[in-house]
Amino acid sequence: MKILFASDLDGTLIYSRNSMGVNVAEEELVEVEKINGKPYSFMTQTSHQALLNIGSSAFFLPVTTRTQAQYERVTGIFDGAASPQYAVISNGAVILENGKPVKEWSEEIRQQCISKKTVVETLLPLIKRYFSEEWVLNIKQADDWFVYLIIDRAGFPDDKLASYVQVFRKIGWSMSLQGRKLYFMPESITKAGAMEWVKARLSAEYVVAAGDSLLDLNLLESADKGFLAVHGEAFRNNAAISSHIQITEQSGIKAGEEILAHVANIAQQQG
Ligand SMILES: [Mg+2]
């Protein structure tokens, strides 16, 4: 059976020093991303090896909210192997095929965003109206697809998040808080939609998915089996999840190891 392993990267397979959570010996870490010449994201040796091994029994599909430039920094995960044929980036607005965006896909998504009036230009005035507080450090646009605020986590009013979510959901935007980033995502842009496109393209028959945030839930729901990291935004918000989705026992960078061990087992059994 052809198996697709569709996985989020940050906070699921790869971790920054701030998000890795548990104490891991330096010699256990594999650096997978540099920013300005400095190591930024890591996997454990065990995770890294497991991911490379999975490549022989399942088709690995990275599914990330990173933009193309941000995704292309994470070269370390594929060290010693070819980079994946497909990658879902910008939360599903863009699909890379052999490193190049699939134009027809993104054009279709753009049309959906325009018809639902969920384009960045319509959102920015609202963001400026609602978010003028000191805890907003920066407003960023991701290749004109969506917006995220860089926030001062200590100053952010957690108790107001639910009401913000309601306001923006009414006009077609999903919100997600991941570390210091508060995302505003058009409802037409989903990880699940792009994953389904790749699944059909590859004629895959079984999908295992993994993630940690609210933006990953549709991906996990569309899969045959899902793994949700216990430390992530989705589990902490008590999001409703279906019975085919399993919560990890381990947290932080060790949750990545646990997910990859499960996926290796599934790939062996189903393959
Ligand atoms: Mg994540």
Q: What are the boundaries of each domain within the chain?
A: 3-106+189-270, 117-186
* φ, ψ (nearest 5 deg) of residue 98: 50, 40
For residue 22, the model assigns a pLDDT of 77
Per-chain residues with Cβ under 5 A from ion ligand 1: 8, 10-11, 212-213
Question: Could you tell me how far CA 26 lies from the centroid of its own chain?
Answer: 25
Q: Distance between CA atoms of 62 and 10, rounded to whole angstroms?
A: 10
Q: Distance between CA atoms of 105 and 191, rounded to whole angstroms?
A: 13
Closest CA relative to residue 32, chosen from 88, 70, 85: 70
139 membership: H or E segment, kind and range: strand 136-142
Distance (angstroms) between ligand 1 centre and the Cα of 211 equals 6
DSSP 34-53: EETTEEEEEEEHHHHHHHHH
Closest CA relative to residue 164, chosen from 217, 220, 193, 123: 123
DSSP 229-265: -TTSHHHHTT----TTEEE-SS-THHHHHHHHHHHHH
Q: Which residues of 144-179 are buried (b: 16+ CB within 10 A; e: fewer)?
A: ebbbbbebeeeebeeeeeeebbeebeeebbbbbbbe
pLDDT digits (tens, 9 = 90+) for 203-255: 999 999 999 999 999 999 999 999 999 999 999 988 889 999 999 999 999 99
Distance (angstroms) between ligand 1 centre and the Cα of 212 equals 5
Q: Which of 30-44, 124-138, 198-212 has the lowest mean pLDDT?
A: 124-138
Determine the average pLDDT of the residues in 92-116.
97
Closest CA relative to residue 228, chosen from 238, 213, 207: 213
Distance (Å) of CA 143 to CA 43, 100, 106, 169, 238:
27, 15, 12, 21, 31
Distance (angstroms) between ligand 1 centre and the Cα of 228 equals 10
Distance (angstroms) between ligand 1 centre and the Cα of 11 equals 4
Determine the angle formed by the axes of helices 45-54 and 253-270, rounding to 10 degrees: 20
The top-level CATH class assigned to 3-106+189-270 is alpha beta
For residue 271, the model assigns a pLDDT of 67
For residue 33, the model assigns a pLDDT of 96
Determine the average pLDDT of the residues in 84-93.
97
Largest CA distance in the chain: 53
For residue 220, the model assigns a pLDDT of 98
pTM over 0.75: yes
Distance (angstroms) between ligand 1 centre and the Cα of 10 equals 4
Q: Distance between CA atoms of 165 and 176, rounded to whole angstroms?
A: 9
